[in-house]
Structure 1
Amino acid sequence: MDPVPLQRLQDLQAGSDAGTALAFFDSLPPVQVPELYGSWRGTELPTGHPLDGLLEPLGWHGKRFDGAEEAFPLVFSESGGGVFNVNPSLVPLPVVLRFGPMLRKRELLASARPFLRVARTRRPGARLRMTEYRGVSSATMIYDALPVLDVFRRVDADTVLGAMDLRGVRLPFFFVLRRD
C-alpha cells in the first residue's frame, strides 16, 4: 500500500479548496463496482461547498452497497447504536444547496435530526454503474430520484474518495469512505 495518497488525503481533510481536491481526485486510480460492495463509514472533505458541514452533524454514518442494484446512499447512526437508511428522494436538495450556510447552525441541525427517522427506508435509493467522469471510467453511484452522481476513486484498498456531482452545481462535493 502506497502511503502517499493516504497522507495526501489526510492533509486535504484538514481543509482544502475544490481545485486542489479535484487535482487529487484526478490523480487517483478508478474503482470497479464490486470493490464497493459492503458498508462504508463516511466523512466530509471540506472545500467550501454548500454541503460542507451538513451531513456529519446530522449523524451521517456513510453508505452501503449490497450489490450493483442495491445502493444505500444515506446511512445514518442511531443514537443508541446501529444505523438506518434515509430515503434520498425526501431530501429537499435545492433548499439545502441554496441555504446551506444558514443550515450549518448546530441547534438547527440538532432539531432536524429527528426528522430523519420519518425518512427511513429499507429500499435502496441508488445503483452502481461504471461511468466516465473527468476522462476516467470508474464506479459511480446513480441516485434514483435526484440528479446526483457519486463518482469514486481509490485511495487504497479500504478507502475511496467520492466526488458528488450535482446537476446545476459547478464543483463537486467531496467525501471520503472507509470500509466499515
Structure 2
Amino acid sequence: MSDHEMTPSVVERWRTLRTAAGPIDPTELDALWADLKSVDVSSILGSWRGFAFPTGHPVERVLARSRWHGKRFLALDDAQPLICRAEDSEGGGLYSDTTSGRGEASLWNIEFRGEVTATMVYDGMPVFDHFKQVDDDTLMGVMNGKAATVAPDGHLFYFGLERE
C-alpha cells in the first residue's frame, strides 16, 4: 500500500474532526486548514449553518449563550456574522444579532497565513473570519483579530459552516 493510500483524505479528516466530541487539539485544525483550498468570496454567498469545533476556546461559550445558528452572506457588502435563534419565539426564529456583533460585516478576499481566501470583516470589531473550502457546501472558518479572539493558550477559534 502506498503512502498516498494510507493518508486520510482532507474530507475524511474533516468528517472525523466534525464528529469528534472534543476536546480537539487546535494543532489538528491548523493542519487541516493548511490542506484546504482557498475560496473566493463570490462563491460563498448564501445562508450557512454553523458549529464550533470543541477546542475549549472561550468563543465557544459565547456562541452557545447567544444561541448561534450560523452566518448569512447576502452580498459582498452585506454579511451577517451572528445569525442566532431567538429564545422567546415559538420554534426559535432566526435574527441577526447586531448587538453582540457590534453591527454586521462585509466580505473581502484577504491574505491569511500566506494565502488569499474569502474573509468576513466585522463592521464594529477588529475581527476577521477567514474561510477555506472543504467542498461546495462546506467551509472551515478561523476567527482572527485582536487579543479577544485568541485563547489564553494562543490558539484561534475554529468553526465550520454548512450551506443551508
Partner of 2:75: 67
Count residues with an aligned counterpart: 146
Q: Does 1:175 align with 2:134?
A: no
Report what 2:97 is aligned to. 86
1:17 to 9, 12, 25: 25
What amino acid maps onto 1:134 in structure 2? Answer: R
Match of 1:38 in 2: 46
Any conservation in 2 of the 1:38–1:65 contact (CA below 8 Å)? yes
SS of 1:52 mapped into structure 2: helix
Give every structure 1 segment of 4 or more consecutive aligned residues whose post-TM-superposition deviation is greater than 6 Å.
none
- Deviation digits for residues 59-105 of structure 1 (CA, Å, limit 9, x no counterpart): 21100000100000000123423310001xx33x9xxxxxxxxxxxx
Tell me the amino acid that sits aligned with residue 54 of structure 2.
P
- Residues 1:5 and 2:10 aligned together: yes
SS at match of 1:153: strand
Post-superposition offset of 1:10 = 2.5
Kindly state the Cα deviation for residue 57 of structure 1 after the two structures are TM-superposed.
Answer: 4.8
- Give secondary structure in 1 for the equivalent of 2:120: strand
Return the alpha-carbon distance in structure 1 between the equivalents of residues 55 and 74 of structure 2: 30
Please tell me whether the aligned partners of residues 119 and 131 of structure 2 are also in contact (alpha carbons under 8 angstroms): yes
Structure 1 vs Structure 2 CA RMSD = 2.0
Q: TM-score, normalised by structure 2?
A: 0.81
Instruction: Return 5+ residue gaps in structure 1 as ranges.
Output: 94-118
C-alpha distance in 1, partners of 2:69/2:9? 26
Which piece of structure 1 moves more, 18-27 or 166-175? Answer: 166-175
CA shift digits 1:133-169 (9 cap, x unpaired): 0111000000011010000000010000000013122
Q: TM-score, normalised by structure 1?
A: 0.74
- Cα gap change, 1:143/1:53 in structure 2, threshold over 3 Å: closer, same or farther? same
Are the structure 2 counterparts of residues 21 and 125 from structure 1 closer, same or farther at C-alpha, using a change threshold of 3 Å? same
131-140 or 4-13, which moves further after superposition? 4-13
Once residues 142 and 58 of structure 1 are traced to their aligned partners in structure 2, the CA distance between those partners, rounded to angstroms, is: 20
**Structure possessing the higher relative contact order (Cα contacts under 8 Å, 6 or more residues apart):** 1
8 Å CA contact 2:10, 2:35 repeated in 1: no
Unaligned runs of 5+ in 2: 1-7
Given that 2:79 and 2:105 are in contact with CA atoms closer than 8 Å, whether structure 1 keeps it comes out as yes
The answer as to whether partners of 1:43 and 1:175 remain within 8 angstroms in 2 is yes
User: Partner of 1:112 in structure 2?
Assistant: none
